[in-house]
Amino acid sequence: EIVLTQSPGTLSLSPGERATLSCRASQSVSSSYLAWYQQKPGQAPRLLIYGASSRATGIPDRFSGSGSGTDFTLTISRLEPEDFAVYYCQQYGSSPVTFGQGTKLEIK
Amino acid sequence: EVQLVESGGGLVQPGRSLRLSCAASGFTFDDYAMHWVRQAPGKGLEWVSGISWNSGSIGYADSVKGRFTISRDNAKNSLYLQMNSLRAEDTALYYCAKAVTMIVRASIDYWGQGTLVTVSS
C-alpha cells in the first residue's frame, strides 16, 4: 500500500499570502495519478486537482498542482477567506487507493 | 445535477451487520465507477472500496477486506456496501462517491453527504 504523508499538519497564513502544501508518497505514484481535495467543516470533500496538475471543473486558477513520482505540491497563489479548510491528497494509481492524513490551512 | 443519497446507517453492535445504499441520479450511472469513502469523527478520509462501471474490477482497503462487500445495480442506479463483522473502529461517516471515469483508478468528482455508522454495544 502506498502511504501518503502530508506536511505540514497545520499551516497558519493570512489572506493574500501564498500557501504551499506537500504530499510525499512512500513509493512512486504511477502516471501521476494524484488528486487534491478540499474539505470544509460539515461538508463533503471537493475535487480540486487530478492527474497531479489538472484543475477540476470550476476550480479557480489560484489553485495549482505539481510534482511527479513521490513528491507532489498543491499551491494556492493568493489565499482567499474561503480557502481556509482541510486539504487531502489521494493516490489512485495503485490498489488500494489511499489518502494522506490532511493539512489544515488556518487563518493566522 | 448529480445527486448521491446514502442511507442505511445507524447504531449497530460489534459483530453485527449493516447494509448501506446509495441512490444516484443526474448522470448515466453505468458509465462511471463508484466508491465508498469513510471519515471517522474528527479524523481524515479513508478509502473503503471501489467498483468499476460493470462490476468487473473491485478493490478494498486492507482494513475491511473479507468483511465488507461492495456491489452495484445499474438498473436501479444504486450502489451498496454490505458490512459484516463490524468493529468499533468502523464507526464513521460513510460517503458514496462518483469517479470521474468508468474505472476504479480515477479521482472522485462528486460526493454524497454521508450516512453515519456507529458501532457500539
pLDDT, tens digit (0-9, with 9 covering 90-100), for B40-93: 999 999 999 999 999 999 999 999 999 999 999 999 999 999 999 999 999 999
A16 and chain B in contact, CB less than 8 A: no
d(CA A30, CA A97): 12
pLDDT of residue A30: 83
B62 and chain A in contact, CB less than 8 A: yes
B6: how many CB neighbours lie within 10 A of its CB?
23
B6's enclosing H/E stretch is strand B3-7
A101 and chain B in contact, CB less than 8 A: yes
B21: how many CB neighbours lie within 10 A of its CB?
17
d(CA B87, CA B83): 10
Which of B44, B60, B114 is closest, CB to CB, to A88?
Answer: B44
pLDDT of residue A43: 96
The pLDDT-based confidence of A31 (bands split at 50, 70, 90) is: confident
- Tell me the mean pLDDT in the region B93-114: 96
The pLDDT-based confidence of A52 (bands split at 50, 70, 90) is: very high
Do A95 and B59 make contact, defined as CB atoms within 8 angstroms?
Answer: yes
d(CA B22, CA B87): 22
- Tell me the mean pLDDT in the region B106-114: 96
Instruction: Check if the beta carbon of residue A57 is closer than 8 Å to that of residue A64.
Output: no
The pLDDT-based confidence of B117 (bands split at 50, 70, 90) is: very high
